[in-house]
Copies of this chain bind each other. A is one copy, B any other.
Amino acid sequence: MTPLELRRQVRDGHFRLPTAGYCGVHAQANLVILPQQYAADFLLFCQRNPRACPLLAVGTPGQWNLPALGHDMDLRSDVPGYNVYRHGELAAQPQSLHEWWRDDLVVFAIGCSFSFEQMLIDAGIALRHVAQRRNVAMYRSSRANQVAGPFGGEMVVSMRPMKAADAIRAIQITSRFPAIHGAPVHLGDPALIGIADIARPDYGDPVEIMADELPVFWACGVTPQEAIRHARLPLVITHQPGYMLVTDIRNADLAAF
């Protein structure tokens, strides 16, 4: 299935699954959609926090396609699930945005770790949460984001346990891809980034860390979702976690070198 074929199945209501594992050669994206009056501040927030919020594309007000990300794209219907927040509270989980769309909405597409997970697996690095078909473990860290307007909060990190040699290789591989969170932000002792109990993630599923493994932490695309929820804007729309926008961009084309 090509990304376009997948998006058309989503648009037609025939695909309502998490997108992990589909079109693995192509980048998937986090979506943030908010009114134009907050767009400049959110753009600045992404610029100031590039590890957590690597921007793949930004639309103009009312623009519901992003040609840079894919052919024949309709962001009002091409994502298998949306979350609508009003004043920071989840208000609806529609399957399309047609009745929510407004001409002042601005779309932000943010790089997603699914891309680098595929590359790690291709490099022979086992990812336990993938093997166990669970969600990656995510934690609110003590690292304050750089504030822009109403957007602030702390960096959310995803954690993957690895042997040291795999961690070193994973750093090399992910460093090539700043557009999909880039290199890890931490490895080793979780307490050093404010994580008190590694067995209890704030999001996703816990994952076992073996005696010969280190926890390796990447900046996570949940960071901007947290920041916008805490900003309590009258309206914000995102994808549902795990139900991503599948783009036409090849992951390999996102390599910085």
Contacts and interface: CB of A to CB of B under 8 A. Distances in A.
Given A192-B212, A212-B192, A186 B172 contact: no
A127 interface: no
Contacts of A189: 164, 212
A168 B192 contact: no
B212 A187 contact: no
A195 interface: no
A112 interface: no
Copies in the complex: 2
A171 B165 CA distance: 11
A201 interface: no
Nearest to A211: B189
Nearest to A213: B188
A119 interface: no
19 contacts: A164-B186, A164-B187, A164-B188, A164-B189, A164-B192, A165-B185, A165-B186, A168-B183, A168-B184, A168-B185, A168-B186, A171-B172, A172-B183, A175-B175, A187-B187, A188-B188, A188-B214, A189-B212, A192-B212
The majority secondary structure among interface residues of chain A is mixed
Nearest to A257: B257
A167 B189 CA distance: 13
Contacts of A175: 171-172, 175
Contacts of A171: 168, 171-172, 175
Interface in A156-189: 164-165, 167-168, 171-172, 175, 183-189
Contacts of A257: 257
A187 B213 CA distance: 10
A175 B175 CA distance: 11
A187 B167 CA distance: 9
Contacts of A214: 187-188
